[in-house]
Amino acid sequence: MDRIGHVLTDESLQAEVVTLTNCDREPIHIPGSIQPYGFLLCLDPRTQRVVQASANTADMVGLAADDLIGQDLSAFFSEERLRELAAQWVSLTENHRLQGVRLNQLPGQPFFKLIQHRFDDLLWLEFEPVEPAATGPLDLPSLNEALSQMLGAESVLEFCQHAVQQISNITGFDRVMMYRFADDESGEVVAEVRAPGLEPFLGLRYPATDIPQQARAMYLRNWLRFIAEVGYVPVPLVPVRTPATGRPPDMTYAVLRSVSPIHVQYLRNMGVQASMSVSLIRDGKLWGLIVCHHNSPRLVSYELRDLCQFIGKTFSSLLKSKEQAEDYQYQLRLRQTQADLFARMAELPDFRRALYDHAPTVMDLFRCGGVAVCFDQQTATLGATPTPEELGELMEWLHLNAPEEVFHTNSYARLHPAGVKLRAVASGIMAICLDRQNRDYILWFRPEVVQQVTWAGRREKPETTHNGELFLSPRQSFAAWSESVENTAEAWRSIEVAAAQELRLRIADIRLKMFDEVQARATLLGRLNEELERSNEELDSFAYVASHDLKEPLRGIHNYSLFLLEDYADKLDAEGVEKLQTLIRLSKRMENLIESLLKLSRVSRLETRLHPVRVADVLHEVRDMLQVRLAQTATTLEIEGELPVVLADAVRLGEVLNNLLTNAMRYNDNAHPYVWVGVAPATVQGPRGSTPPGFCTLYVRDNGIGIDPRHHENIFRIFKRLHGPNKYGGGTGAGLAIARKMIEKMGGQIWVDSVAGQGATFYFSVPTPH
């Protein structure tokens, strides 16, 4: 007995022990043995002589396997019959050919079914003795009625149920069920017929690992597998290896092929004594299986098994049209609901209330557990949704991490750790963004799929063990499946995503119409803006004059304070000296503030002239100016990719880069400071959306202390510092305000993307020559 549970005579064939953890490596297509309800002969197609035979030929036909090796089939058939068979062998393929035969040498000439095919350079002849009791009468009218029901099924699930019912009627198995595979190859029982008293498996789900990949590949090639008695003792081939190849033959298409001992153990755990499965294939891929179980040994005739295979192929050929029809019906219902919703939105003065106050609501569009409608800092919810605090955190995450107009996921927890606490109501999320800046969203939620699956009957069941090893059982498979899909919801379908996008566009149209209705006010607002612009210009002029005129007296205060300290320090007590030093320090800080204000007002007043500028040349000059500071701080400056030619004021562009590089060095406590400069991808979103045509976006990124998102806007305000005046090298807090003014004067925008403790990336856009 070899280590994978099959009788082999060649010790070199022994392989590693196959268990539930490594069964995906089990060579199930070359078991080297058959099931004992028939016998097998393998012939060399050139000599038409036996090269291998199953070891049970002596029991079934009175001829030992060793004696058959090298012989032709004259011991079985007449010369005329052999010529007929030889003519058939020429055209054989892997597809089975069935015929009834009588064997000459046996008393009474018992009747066998001969199943022939050609594969792996062998002629395969499989003999099944006819068992009258095992073959029930074929009820053709009932079969015709069943096929009519399958054709008329209005849903895929109804289609599945008719198929398993017909297989049950034909075979008489105690349980017939249909597995449907998901995209991740896990499975679910979607239809079932069972004998009274059996526990229902409908809704059972199991992980992809329950069916190894090599078994799935074989299911695609061979449509039907049958086990007449699970407790059978495998019958080895004699010899195990094919003489011409030196290896066991590939038994993929052999009807009598012995099955995996792991699969046998699985069936035993379920109390199953006979089994059959039929493949269901859609577009060349394994869609599912029809699986039959019986609680006692059961030999189903080849003709009835072939009829079951015919039903499986018929089901497979009709499946695509049934799924398309069901999708079409679902789409029709969705479209009707959508049309009703749109009509209600057009009728009501406030279209937002139509989304959640009147039927149908946005929750009725497609299957979901709950909906949140968030407009203008107000939220309305329907069904099961996260708490208001959790919704706020979710929308903030969407704002930072989901730039697309329609975002959807069936596992929010895989994208964001905080999603784990929402899995009961929001493992799956679909969101349409209506206004990113104002955090306006509509969100649909789906619960964790594990919570929607239940077992009928008792959940408690003793573990099945053998020699101390735990074997797989249906409930254990369900537990494994549950673990593999934790934090996962039903996936969003493409037609649902499309419907959400259409709703977003419709809302955008309504809001645009509302904008058009207030366009008449735009003229008034324009005049107000002109007046505001003039006021801003006057304010800039005032700031320039005031700061310029204040510099002279302030410089005098500073200088006279220095003279007093130098000439009269010995005549003053300690308190007087300290006050003079404070006066000098404050006057110097005041001078820096006035200088920053003067610089800001100068930027506003001076005309900006744009010329083609090589960013690389400007950055090179800035790096030369900062070389000493870079060396002192041990900062590494790296340029990522090729820097473009832009339309800019070279001096102001240099000042912007100087400010950003200086800040990157200043606000960095990393042991190895880094600064990267490069061109951002076109998909990067700024405060005004994506980079418009005719502009490019540059970035300066560092690995420093980072900036909390709530301060992202504050840092660009004049004299706004997040730290004390003496921390991180001091400063007036005007640098970023001046940089923003310079970039805006060139027609661009500047913003920051950062999280505290994770560095900062400053983006700024500038026009390009093309």
234-251 average pLDDT score: 89
Contact status, residue 479 vs residue 399, Cβ threshold 8 Å: no
The pair of structure tokens assigned to 269 is 């755990």
Q: Looking at residue 751, what is its pLDDT? A: 92
Whether the CA torsion 593, 599, 602, 608 is positive or negative: it is negative
What's the average model confidence in pLDDT over 222-246?
Answer: 89
CA dihedral of residues 497, 501, 503, 505 (deg, nearest 10): -170
What pLDDT, on the 0 to 100 scale, is given for residue 554? 62
User: What pLDDT does 278 receive?
Assistant: 93
pLDDT of residue 698: 94
pLDDT in tens, 151-195: 877 888 888 998 999 999 889 999 999 989 888 787 888 999 999
From the candidate CATH numbers 3.40.50.720, 3.30.565.10, 3.90.226.10, 3.40.640.10, the one assigned to the domain spanning 611-767: 3.30.565.10
Question: For 683-705, what is the mean pLDDT?
Answer: 87
Count Cβ atoms below 10 Å from residue 71 Cβ, excluding itself. Answer: 14
Alpha-carbon distance of 256 to 277, in angstroms, equals: 14
More confident residue, 316 or 591: 316
Exposed e or buried b for every residue in 242-255, given b needs 16+ CB within 10 A?
A: beeeeebbbbbbbb
Helix H, strand E, coil C: the string for 513-579 is HHHHHCHHHHHHHHHHHHHHHHHHHHHHHHHHHHHHHHHHHHHHHHHHHHHHHHHHHHHCCHHHHHH
Question: Residue 176: its pLDDT value, please?
Answer: 94
Q: Which residue has the tokens 């006010």?
A: 521
Contact in structure between 167 and 137 (CB atoms under 8 Å) = no
Tell me what pLDDT residue 79 has. 86
Q: Which CATH number fits domain 523-605: 1.10.287, 1.10.150, 1.10.3470, 1.10.10?
A: 1.10.287
Q: What is the pLDDT of residue 450?
A: 66
Predicted pLDDT at 456: 33
Residue-wise pLDDT for 270-300, tens only, equals: 778 999 999 999 998 989 999 999 999 999 8
For 684-708, what is the mean pLDDT? 87
- CA dist., res. 200 & res. 195, Å (int): 10
Picking from 94-108, 121-135, 227-241, 634-648, which range would have the lowest pLDDT averaged per residue? Answer: 94-108
Lowest mean pLDDT among 235-239, 577-581, 590-594, 638-642: 590-594
Amino acid at 224: L
pLDDT digits (tens, 9 = 90+) for 215-226: 788 788 888 889
Domain residue ranges of the chain, discontinuous segments joined by +: 11-130, 140-230+272-326, 348-448+486-517, 523-605, 611-767
pLDDT at 706 over 70: yes
Whether 486 shows a pLDDT value over 80: the answer reads: no
Distance CA(185)–CA(215), nearest Å, equals 12
Half-sphere exposure of 641 (CA within 13 A, CB side): 10
Those residues whose C-beta lies under 8 Å from the C-beta of residue 235, and which sit 6 or more positions away, are: 7, 33, 34, 35, 36, 39, 54, 55, 56, 258
Query: Bridge-partner residues for 677, per DSSP?
Result: 639, 700
For 684-710, what is the mean pLDDT? 87
The predicted pLDDT at position 41 comes to: 93
Which numeric CATH code is attached to 11-130? 3.30.450.20
Confidence of residue 28 (pLDDT cuts 50, 70, 90): low
390-399 residue pLDDT tens = 999 998 999 8
Burial of 332 by CB count in 10 Å (0-12 exposed, 13-18 middle, 19+ buried)?
A: exposed
Omega of the bond leading into 417 within 30 degrees of 0 (cis)? no
Examine the pLDDT at 444 and tell me if it is beyond 90.
yes
Lowest-confidence segment of 121-135, 203-217, 539-553 by average pLDDT? 539-553
* Band (541; pLDDT cuts 50, 70, 90): low
Collect all residues with Cβ–Cβ distance below 8 Å to 179 and sequence separation of at least 6: 187, 188, 189, 190, 288, 289, 291
In angstroms, the CA 518 to CA 630 distance is: 54
pLDDT value at residue 15: 40
Is residue 515 pLDDT above 60, yes or no?
yes
Higher local confidence (pLDDT), 109 or 490: 490
Q: Which of 613, 691, 684, 699 is nearest to 654 (CA)?
A: 613
pLDDT in tens, 52-71: 999 999 888 888 999 899 98
Q: How far apart are CA 289 and CA 218, in angstroms?
A: 12
pLDDT band (50, 70, 90) for residue 462: very low
Quote the pLDDT of residue 22.
Answer: 47
Statement: residue 480 has pLDDT above 70: no
- Name the strand (E) or helix (H) holding 253: none
pTM above 0.75, yes or no: no
- pLDDT by residue (tens digit) across 71-90? 888 888 888 888 888 888 88
| 765 band by pLDDT with thresholds 50, 70 and 90 | very high
Coil, strand or helix at 392: helix
Q: What is the pLDDT of residue 16?
A: 41
**Rounded to an integer, what distance in angstroms lies between the CA atom of residue 174 and that of residue 291?**
11
Q: Which CATH number fits domain 348-448+486-517: 3.40.640.10, 3.30.9.10, 3.30.450.270, 3.90.1150.10?
A: 3.30.450.270
Residues 314, 291: contact at Cβ < 8 Å?
no
Q: To 10 degrees, the CA torsion angle through 349, 354, 359, 364? A: 160
The mean pLDDT of 678-694, rounded to a whole number, is 84
Do 140-230+272-326 and 348-448+486-517 have matching folds?
Answer: yes
Candidates 3.30.450.40, 3.50.50.100, 4.10.640.10, 3.50.50.60; CATH matching 140-230+272-326? 3.30.450.40
Mean pLDDT (whole number) for 750-756: 90
